[in-house]
Amino acid sequence: MKLTDEQKAMLEGEYGEGAAYAMKIEVAIGESFDAERMVPITRAHVALSNQDADLWFAEKMLEKGAHCRVSPTVNPGFCVSFFKERGLVKDEDAEMMMRTHNAYKGLGATLTYNCTPYVATNIPNYGEICAFSESSATPYVNSVWGARSNREGANSALCAAITGFVPEYGLLLDENRKGNILVNIEADMKSDFEYHLLGYCGKKIGPGIPVFTGLPSHISPESLTNLGAQLNTSGAYGMYHIVGFTPEARTMEEAFGGKKPERVVNITNKDLEDILEQISYSGNRKIDFAMFGCPHFTLNQAKHIASKVEGKKLSVPLWILTSYHVKELADRMGITQIIEDAGGNIIPDTCPDQPCWNWLNGKVGVTESPKCAYYPKRRGIEFVIRDLDTCIEAAIKGEVI
């Protein structure tokens, strides 16, 4: 690759050992994709995991003196105070979370602990070059905002934040942002929930950049979040287009760059029904808990749950996972109090794929998110998947009707 004098100096250690290490990784990534040059970024998001490999890398970079030129927002771990106070997490797991916190704090990250920064705290402008990891984030910033980011891993996004550069390849280039799969939606998209199921049709859609047509004229931010999150749970998608809706798909011709689609896929109600049957737990319909917020719930979603449980008592625990920002607003607006009075909790900074939930091993929950159901399986936790209102009713009754 052709490096600028500044980039060469960084690679040779003039900006410190940590920056040199990060630049070495960025150059290697660029060379593997035949990138011609490095380009500056203005935003980053790191999908930290507070697990062994991620923590090892972050602490190594901190030890070598690295500091972020572009302060990245970060993914959730878990809220140590909430789970420690209730005796629900082992000391060693809490210690690892705090080490992760200290490492990223030392590196200069913006400690949002939120997996949906693209709807509140880290929103890029059209055409802005970014380095975003997190499965729901990359398709959102590329597709909805028209910014530019490749599907970074946590470590490569951190290296980009430290150096301030990424190699120019993939979705940073105009020619690689055009759609190649036409996806005709014939299903009834009645609510945010159907976008979860549509996203989980990745196996039928196949690899490439899908161009959706037939969707409603109004699509909520929550629906768009769900679509991108599930596309990356069922497949690997850095971008999609919605004709007449997303900024690089004002017309069908623009979405495909004037070319014909390589294939055409039709998604029907039967496809969504089949997906739900495949991924939802089908055993005992008695549930032990309800969990929402993978991706993190918005204030509107928390308000909706509050409206459904106000004045009622839940039969099982209900947890809403969200950002600290949303939690603070929910506190101020009385939403948290309504949910707590019913027997639920709003928990900030927390992901379902964390050791703080190990105590739920062998239990069955209900959720509206296939992604929420997917990751905790490795911890022995099963989920019945239903639309949000059915899930809320199940939490009130203690079973899925």
Domain assignments of the chain as residue spans, ordered by start: 5-171, 178-277, 280-397
**316-372 pLDDT tens trace:** 999 999 999 999 999 999 999 999 999 999 999 999 999 999 999 999 999 999 999
What the block records as the tokens of 234 is 């069922």
Listed residue (280, 343, 353) closest to 321, CA to CA? 353
Q: What is the C-alpha separation between 243 and 250, in angstroms, rounded?
A: 6
Angular region, 399: left φ>0, alpha ψ -120 to 50, beta rest = beta
What the block records as the tokens of 66 is 């690295």
What the block records as the tokens of 53 is 């490999």
178-277 has the same fold as 5-171 = no
**96-143 pLDDT tens trace:** 999 999 999 999 999 999 999 999 899 999 999 999 999 999 999 999
Torsion of CA 78, 80, 83, 85, to 10 degrees: -170
What is the residue-averaged pLDDT of the chain?
97
> Residue 230 has what pLDDT?
96
Band of the pLDDT at 284, cuts 50, 70, 90?
A: low
Could you tell me if 144 and 239 are in contact, meaning their C-beta atoms sit under 8 angstroms apart? no
Kindly report the CATH number that applies to the domain delimited by 178-277.
3.40.50
**174-226 pLDDT tens trace:** 999 999 999 999 999 999 999 999 999 999 999 999 999 999 999 999 999 99
**356-371 pLDDT tens trace:** 999 999 999 999 999 9
Share of the chain above pLDDT 90, in %: 97
Q: Say whether domain 280-397 belongs to CATH 1.20.1250.30.
A: no
**47-89 pLDDT tens trace:** 998 889 999 999 999 999 999 999 999 999 999 999 999 999 9
Q: What is the C-alpha separation between 46 and 192, in angstroms, rounded?
A: 26
Please give the model's pTM, rounded to 2 decimal places: 0.96
Type and span of the H or E element at 295: strand 289-297
Q: Would the pLDDT of 154 be above 70?
A: yes
Q: Say whether domain 5-171 belongs to CATH 3.30.499.10.
A: yes
Q: Would the pLDDT of 13 be above 80?
A: yes
Q: Would the pLDDT of 382 be above 70?
A: yes
> Residue 283 has what pLDDT?
73
